[in-house]
Amino acid sequence: MTQMQEARAGRITPAMEMAAQREGLAAEFIRHGLASGTIVLPANINHKNLEPCAIGHGLRTKVNANIGTSPEFPDLDKEIEKLEAALAAGVDAVMDLSTGGDLNVIRREILKRCTVPVGTVAEYQAMVEARRKYGNLIEMTEEDLFNTIEQQARDGADFITVHCGVTGEGIERLKKEGRITDIVSRGGAFMAGWILHHNRENPLYEQYDRLLDIAEKYDVTLSLGDGLRPGCLADASDRAQIHELIILGELVDRAWERGIQVMVEGPGHVPLNQIEANVILQKRICKGAPFYVLGPLVTDVAPGYDHITSAIGGALAASAGVDFLCYVTPAEHLGLPSVEDVREGVIAARIAAHAADIVKGAPGALAWDLEMAKARKALDWQKQIELAIDREKAVRYWQEKNIKDKDENKGKEECSMCGEFCAMKVIGEHLQCDRNKSHKLYS
């Protein structure tokens, strides 16, 4: 039985217990959310070393890191290094988007080393293998596609992205729309290309029940990909995007009818003032299914800094109700990320998630900031570093800027920004002095 089916039967599973504990909430809260579909608990029955983590309404905003080889960089070791960097930086889930090297070996290795939920994209492996088998990716057969999905599910993928919402009707709408960047989702572009080439409907849409069968067997959480997500601000929230969202909403209903866990993916490149509308719309059309967004990026002009453009959009999206943020690294739009890019990407997305969690009232969120504020007021540098979202960077910066003498292992009380003119110190002394006086200030 899937976690959703168990929840509907009124049972609290060990996975629900563990997820609840990590969240600081009652297991019944998780069970209720799972039963109603507003929470997912991606936990493939074959992912043995998983520490379950729930995603959805009322929970801490989660962060995903995409890793994986590419045709030009098929090095498994490098991707394992990225996996470890992402885990060390506090990521909540990882997607293996490999398209270079032996994809089955890579996925199994990542799953073996990964205690957080692992996601995949069904179509990537299918198109890579079709390219190898037939010399052209577009020659992939329906059987190839479903066999790949079954393979990924059997190996233990906790969630699988499937671009079921890219349909012939949607492509017609896209063509009428006159988009600037057409399609920027790899899976979406591939399925659209397949539909156009074969003049056939998307098998993931047409044979959606077959997909649900596989998902049910291994308790894979389906992540309904937004193949027509906007690839630039000018394409955001257009008819093609919203039409696909409506289809995804219908597919959420059909998954829920069978007790299959499902979440919905979202944009993309979105102007700041359209973000909240996108979240409200997804939550309404998909009846509260968890919302997983890539970004959103609030401008197109900052290659090299898209961890920042997406932290802006992600914070706003999450505060409006998004449950799950896919990180974007500084390498986005320029090439495959390095280990350092992965690390920067995870921290930027975690900052966005945490800024939103404060607003959402997630348990413990504001308390963390309060502790930091008290450590700052006390000029307690040790404590400030312990509380930093990235201790390693905080301590490195602090040491570089404050410890001139290498034999000295602690800096001054105040930092090198203000030195003796430290506001905290100046006002602290005078307020203390004032408290010791009996009189009231002249005013």
**Counting contacts by CB under 8 A, is residue 312 touching a copy of itself?**
yes
Please tell me whether 197 is known to bind a ligand: no
**Counting contacts by CB under 8 A, is residue 363 touching a copy of itself?**
no
**Counting contacts by CB under 8 A, is residue 121 touching a copy of itself?**
no
Using the rule CB under 8 A, give the single segment among 53-61, 149-157, 256-264, 344-352 that binds a copy of itself.
344-352
If you compute the radius of gyration of the chain from its CA atoms, what whole number of angstroms results?
24
Beta-bridged to residue 40, according to DSSP, are 55
Distance between CA 345 and CA 352 in Å, rounded?
A: 11
Please tell me whether 185 is known to bind a ligand: yes
Residues numbered 10-39 forming contacts with a copy of itself, rule: CB under 8 A: none
**Counting contacts by CB under 8 A, is residue 5 touching a copy of itself?**
no
Here the tokens at position 305 are 């800094």
Judged by DSSP in three states, 409 sits in coil
Specify the DSSP element, H or E, that contains 111.
Answer: helix 103-113
Neighbour tally for 404: CB within 10 Å: 10
Contact 313, 270 (CB under 8 A): yes
Judged by DSSP in three states, 360 sits in helix
Distance between CA 252 and CA 37 in Å, rounded?
A: 9
Here the tokens at position 203 are 């098998």
Q: Which of 30, 111, 298, 328 binds a copy of itself (CB under 8 A)?
A: 298
Alpha helices in 178-238 (DSSP H): 186-198, 203-206, 208-218
Residues numbered 256-285 forming contacts with a copy of itself, rule: CB under 8 A: 271-273
Here the tokens at position 42 are 């991606």
Q: Which of 209, 407, 423, 436 binds a copy of itself (CB under 8 A)?
A: 423
Contact 401, 381 (CB under 8 A): no
**Is the CB of 112 or the CB of 377 nearer to a copy of itself?**
377
**Counting contacts by CB under 8 A, is residue 339 touching a copy of itself?**
no
What is the crossing angle of helices 208-218 and 239-257, to 10°?
A: 50
Q: Closest Cα partner for 162 from 81, 239, 264?
A: 264
**Is the CB of 117 or the CB of 203 nearer to a copy of itself?**
203
Please tell me whether 228 is known to bind a ligand: yes
Please tell me whether 186 is known to bind a ligand: yes
Q: Which of 305, 339, 379, 380 binds a copy of itself (CB under 8 A)?
A: 305
Identity of the amino acid at 185? S
**Counting contacts by CB under 8 A, is residue 70 touching a copy of itself?**
yes
**Is the CB of 9 or the CB of 272 nearer to a copy of itself?**
272
Q: Which of 72, 206, 340, 413 binds a copy of itself (CB under 8 A)?
A: 72
Residues numbered 225-244 forming contacts with a copy of itself, rule: CB under 8 A: 231-235
Using the rule CB under 8 A, give the single segment among 24-32, 212-220, 259-267, 397-405 that binds a copy of itself.
397-405
Q: How far is the CB of 25 from a copy of itself (least distance, A)?
A: 21
Neighbour tally for 217: CB within 10 Å: 13
Residues numbered 317-336 forming contacts with a copy of itself, rule: CB under 8 A: 319, 330-336
Residues in the annotated binding site for Zn(2+)? 269, 333
Residues in the annotated binding site for [4Fe-4S] cluster? 415, 418, 422
